[in-house]
Structure 1
Amino acid sequence: MIPGHPHPGELVLDAPTRRLCDDIAAGGRGPVRLAVIAPGGYGKSALLDLLADGPGARRHRRGLAAEAGLVLVDDAHLLTDAALAEVAELAADDRVGLVVAARPWPRPAGLTSVLARLRGQIVLRPFDRDRVAACLRLSGEPADADAVLGLTGGVPGLVQRLAPHRGEVGAALEDFRFDIDRLDRDARRVLVAAEAGVAELPPGLLARPVAEVVAEVRSGGLTAPDGALLPVAGAAVRALVPAEERAEALAALAAARLAAGGPVAATAVALLEAGASGQAVAELFAAAARESEPDVAVRLYAAAAAEGYEVDQVGWAEAEVRACDPAAALRRVDGLIAHGTGGERGRAAAVAGAALAHRGQLARSAELYSWGGGAVSAAFAAIGHVGAGRLAEARAALADAGDAPPTVYAGAVTATARGLIDSLDTRAEATAAAVSTVVHAAEAVEPLGSAALLPDSPAAIAAIMAMHGGDPTAADPVLGRAVAAGVGGAPLAARHRLLRGWAAMVAGDEAAASAAIDPRHGPAEGRDAVFAAGLAVGVARRGSDIGALRRCWDEACAALARQPVDLFTLLPLGELAVAAARLGDRDRVAAQTAAARELLAALGDPPLWTTVPHWNALHADLLADDPDAAVAHAEALRAAADAGPVTAALADAARVWLQVVGGSVDRAAVEAAARALHAAGLRWDGARLAGQAAIRTPDRAAMVGLLECARGLQGPAATPAPDAAGEPARLSEREQQVAGLVLAGMTYRQIGDKLFISAKTVEHHMARMRSRLGAGSRAELLSRLRDLVRA
């Protein structure tokens, strides 16, 4: 013992237990009857050593006569029946104090009889950090107490094994060899399973009862109270159990789990992480893949195949689609479609159809769904054909579908296809009913969550239809429910999020729109990349941020070029067409806009789907200074005005906008049209119309009124921020807005467009702020403004 340090045994005890032992050793409590039950390594023997220093204390031995004093019995779980009978006699003598220490297992009947005569228990607890640190100091080899505590769980014996080795596990492993070598095959299998992370052992794995063997292992002091193997013990098992024995134990575990039936995923994942191998393990992996989350299933299929097991290739490909890797899935099923068996080919075609749809290739997706057969595939084929502008093929696909089991899933998919076809009608009541049909289908599939492999979700289609119909507020709830239910799983999560962002942007909530394309979500892929690009462009354009618009323009064009134009990408295409006109770069989107016109013409120019494209094209032509082309789009909107209130509102707004651009501002007509746009869900457009009219009218009263209308439609103004000292800012509300936009890098013209004021007025605000703040230069003014305006 190092001079000046406490007795090693005392480190085992916390303060209450130490005081109890001091009282017992001093005889202050009279004859005691106490048990000390704890796994190996918790310090039972050290505790008895401490008590043995007291007067009258005796170690138990065979033939010990009963007399006053304190008898200490160690390792009582190992005593013979005859020895336990003697201890029971001592316990029956009121003159004799008795402290019996034992592990929780084994528990012979004689020991149970002895424990029943005792009156209390001394509880030994693991070390806390302070006692770990004290033990390490006592060893004379300082180590990281937190690290040692994490490795050992604070089990005193394990801490003391690491202490001489400065907490280095590798140097202490040989100290565990006896613990492992003394165990039989069953106990070692339990240790190997625990090291692999398998919490529940199947019947048939062990020759002895599982509960008995587990109790034996836990009594050894190598596990935490919940039975998990402590890290230092896990390292010992990995190092000291021979590799062939470990492999055999894991293979036996896999076989037993399969034979037991029931869910196998948890065991399979644990064995996968443990690097298990062999045919039984591979069979377990393949079985578990069918019940696992997609990313885990892909790993399980791969591991099973690596062992030479013949896995379900279509199931593997479906897991890859669900794990957002459609390219890998397409590579896997391509050969199966050409050379697989009958049923396998149909399944492979459905997986390929879903993968292609997620990559934005609707025409090819529809062909594969049609070829694969089945009523559900026929409905998906019809949806793809409509999206690709092939109405006749869509109707034929549904007509040839045949009967399907009346499941909720089949009914919802079929209803979505029929609703989509009905949305091509020219009658307002028909299109309204079509949207309602698809919304109801979206609600029907919500209970399925991610269980079905969907090329697209009814919720996404319903939302796109609602936004084309001028009702973004109807889009968000159906998308929100799909997100909450996890409809379609990971492949559709980004689509739902981006569509919610689009609805927010159209409704004037640019912050929510920006959140949908936050870089932390990761890059968008396939068709989602077009919506992400459209959102980025749309937010920049609505914020009059020409710098941001230019920065995202090339990426947006690249995303658009990678994707075929279809019915479901007309929203971002229209936004990009307007931005292209703003940037003077219309050639970059000319081919796509022409393809969109052809697609809509092939579908009969349905009002529900053509209204928003005509509206966007009108503004693109106005920005490109092509009024004749803009008039053509206005005429197209007027011709379809009877298709519904939204179409009527856009038609009237187009007429008024052309008048404003031509220099004729009728305040009442402008306000009516702007408010109608706002009511139709196009809030930014409504505010923009009123603002553009205000800066073009020579009538001062009309200008003021229209600016007030624009501000009201735009939403509440920003609240002024306090200065750094917490005092009220010395800028007016309007000056706060102007200052914030200047600091954001906008030009006076961009700020004027944003706030519906002239560039000259912005300049006037800046001059007045410079004078009020006493700034001697523009740089000094900007510095002071930064102190007054929140970032």
Structure 2
Amino acid sequence: MIMNDLAGSRLTLDRGLQALLDTVAQDPTGPLTVGIAGPGGHGKTTLLAELERVHRQAGVSVRTTAPQPGEPVEDDTLVLVDDAHLLDDARVGVLLRLVGTRRHRLVVAHRPWPRSAALSELVDALRRDGQAVLLTPFTREQTAEYLAARPELGRGNDLVDFVHTQSAGVPRDVERLTRGLAGAEARTGTLVNPPRSVILEFGSDLDVEPAPVRRLLLAVAAGGALPVSMLGALLGTDPAGVDEVIATTRAAGLLGADGRLAPIVRRAVTTLSPTTDRTAVWRRLTESQLARGGAVLPLVRSLLAVGALCLCRAPAPVDAPVLR
């Protein structure tokens, strides 16, 4: 995985990405066909920026937008495309034709969802003719390596455990939390909660998500098991629609592959969501649980833990898988 440090000058890489950058640095004009997949906040844009920097420094022409249909692209130009999952089929088709010529150097980054048929064909072509890179969360060791660049924060295991647990290793959130801790007043004792300034940074992430995603996040933040039938009633959709909302939320880097929210995301969701939205979602969950004859007490305990039924209490840490 890859992510800028706070000063924007250091990268934290796994061996595969380090090998890719080493190869590019040794031969900036050599063959290069790469597909980069990863949820939001996992470092796609940072990796593209580093590839752009290396190539421009070597005097290579770089293009950072997908060409329009019919628009010529010089063979010696490196084409870097971010957020390819947002492109229409026509521009994806242009990229697919560039791969097919085997004359162009191309790096395409995208989220795992949404995945149109055209994008799937492009991803397959990039993998077949070059290499596929999958960006995943930091391991604890990578989080420790990232924190080592900020010696003023200390090097204790408690700091590493706090940052890694709160962020679930998502590079964007490791960066945010590290920056927030570095800017906070001198701390004493054990770290318990992230600085409020860090929580507020999630506001823009939540604001751009569609209403079904925000409702899903509030439901997951309540804790407890959430059957597809209950989520379908909450989201007003069928099981396939529930799967799509879950995939979208995961692709945004807000929901883990295990169906959990990282503690820092859970706190942001419960803190920053409008009160009316929180109340509506959590009341609907309670009503759905009653209607299906399920036990209400575990859900009520979860709602109490995140402040749904008593706003004076702070969100508790995530303690159970939630989607099944």
1:85 aligns with 2:96: no
Whole-angstrom CA distance in 2 between matches of 1:155 and 1:18: 19
User: Among residues 218, 229, 238, which one is paired with 2:250 in the alignment?
Assistant: 218
- Deviation, structure 1 residue 39: 0.5
Quote the RMSD (CA, aligned, Å): 2.8
Q: Which has the larger radius of gyration?
A: 1
Aligned twin of 1:270:
299
1:60 aligns with 2:65: yes
CA contact (8 A) 1:34 1:118 kept: yes
User: Among residues 176, 197, 200, which one is paired with 1:174 in the alignment?
Assistant: 200
Relative to 1, partners in 2 of residues 1:246 and 1:59: Cα closer, same or farther, differing over 3 Å? same
Aligned twin of 1:123:
134
Aligned twin of 2:147:
136
1:114 aligns with 2:119: no
Relative to 1, partners in 2 of residues 1:33 and 1:268: Cα closer, same or farther, differing over 3 Å? farther
Relative to 1, partners in 2 of residues 1:118 and 1:154: Cα closer, same or farther, differing over 3 Å? same
- Deviation, structure 1 residue 151: 0.4
User: Among residues 190, 205, 224, which one is paired with 2:234 in the alignment?
Assistant: 205
Which AA in structure 1 matches 2:160? A
Aligned twin of 1:499:
none
After superposition, what is the alpha-carbon deviation per residue over 1:670-725, rounded to whole angstroms, capped at 9, x for unaligned?
Answer: xxxxxxxxxxxxxxxxxxxxxxxxxxxxxxxxxxxxxxxxxxxxxxxxxxxxxxxx
- Deviation, structure 1 residue 6: 8.4
Aligned twin of 2:48:
48
Whole-angstrom CA distance in 1 between matches of 2:297 and 2:93: 48
Whole-angstrom CA distance in 2 between matches of 1:44 and 1:192: 27
CA contact (8 A) 2:41 2:173 kept: yes
Whole-angstrom CA distance in 1 between matches of 2:201 and 2:95: 33
Whole-angstrom CA distance in 1 between matches of 2:105 and 2:251: 26
Whole-angstrom CA distance in 2 between matches of 1:175 and 1:254: 30
Q: Which residues of 2 match residues 695-710 of structure 1 at below 5 A?
A: none
User: Among residues 175, 181, 185, which one is paired with 1:160 in the alignment?
Assistant: 175
After superposition, what is the alpha-carbon deviation per residue over 1:128-149, rounded to whole angstroms, capped at 9, x for unaligned?
Answer: 3343244335457526222101
- Deviation, structure 1 residue 78: 1.2
After superposition, what is the alpha-carbon deviation per residue over 1:767-788, rounded to whole angstroms, capped at 9, x for unaligned?
Answer: xxxxxxxxxxxxxxxxxxxxxx
Aligned twin of 1:239:
271
Structure 2 residue runs of 5 or longer lacking an equivalent are 183-193, 310-324
- Deviation, structure 1 residue 188: 0.9
- Deviation, structure 1 residue 64: 5.3
- Deviation, structure 1 residue 79: 1.4
- Deviation, structure 1 residue 268: 5.2
Q: Which residues of 2 match residues 642-653 of structure 1 at below 5 A?
A: none
TM-score normalised by L of structure 2: 0.74
TM-score normalised by L of structure 1: 0.32
CA contact (8 A) 2:66 2:79 kept: no
- Deviation, structure 1 residue 80: 2.2
Query: By percentage of residues, which structure has more helix?
Result: 1
After superposition, what is the alpha-carbon deviation per residue over 1:527-574, rounded to whole angstroms, capped at 9, x for unaligned?
Answer: xxxxxxxxxxxxxxxxxxxxxxxxxxxxxxxxxxxxxxxxxxxxxxxx
Whole-angstrom CA distance in 2 between matches of 1:251 and 1:195: 13
Structure 1 residue runs of 5 or longer lacking an equivalent are 278-791
CA contact (8 A) 1:151 1:232 kept: yes
Q: Which residues of 2 match residues 76-475 of structure 1 at below 5 A?
A: 76-119=84-127, 120-138=131-149, 142=153, 144-166=159-181, 168-200=194-226, 201=228, 202=230, 203-208=232-237, 209-259=241-291, 261=292, 264-265=294-295, 269-275=298-304, 276=308
Aligned twin of 1:402:
none
CA contact (8 A) 2:48 2:80 kept: yes
Whole-angstrom CA distance in 2 between matches of 1:24 and 1:83: 26
- Deviation, structure 1 residue 29: 9.6
Whole-angstrom CA distance in 1 between matches of 2:124 and 2:76: 21
Whole-angstrom CA distance in 2 between matches of 1:147 and 1:64: 50
CA contact (8 A) 1:34 1:122 kept: yes
Whole-angstrom CA distance in 1 between matches of 2:258 and 2:195: 22
After superposition, what is the alpha-carbon deviation per residue over 1:632-688, rounded to whole angstroms, capped at 9, x for unaligned?
Answer: xxxxxxxxxxxxxxxxxxxxxxxxxxxxxxxxxxxxxxxxxxxxxxxxxxxxxxxxx
Whole-angstrom CA distance in 1 between matches of 2:212 and 2:279: 14
- Deviation, structure 1 residue 98: 2.0
After superposition, what is the alpha-carbon deviation per residue over 1:307-363, rounded to whole angstroms, capped at 9, x for unaligned?
Answer: xxxxxxxxxxxxxxxxxxxxxxxxxxxxxxxxxxxxxxxxxxxxxxxxxxxxxxxxx
- Deviation, structure 1 residue 177: 0.4
- Deviation, structure 1 residue 179: 0.9
- Deviation, structure 1 residue 255: 3.1
Q: Which residues of 2 match residues 18-37 of structure 1 at below 5 A?
A: 18-27=18-27, 30-37=30-37
Whole-angstrom CA distance in 2 between matches of 1:104 and 1:256: 31
Q: Which residues of 2 match residues 672-711 of structure 1 at below 5 A?
A: none
Relative to 1, partners in 2 of residues 1:169 and 1:6: Cα closer, same or farther, differing over 3 Å? closer
Whole-angstrom CA distance in 1 between matches of 2:249 and 2:170: 15
CA contact (8 A) 2:66 2:95 kept: no
Aligned twin of 2:185:
none
Whole-angstrom CA distance in 2 between matches of 1:48 and 1:27: 17
CA contact (8 A) 1:187 1:216 kept: yes
Number of residue-to-residue matches in the alignment: 271
SS of 1:36's equivalent in the other structure is strand
1:70 aligns with 2:78: yes
SS of 1:122's equivalent in the other structure is strand
After superposition, what is the alpha-carbon deviation per residue over 1:234-275, rounded to whole angstroms, capped at 9, x for unaligned?
Answer: 11011101222111101222334455x4x723x751343222
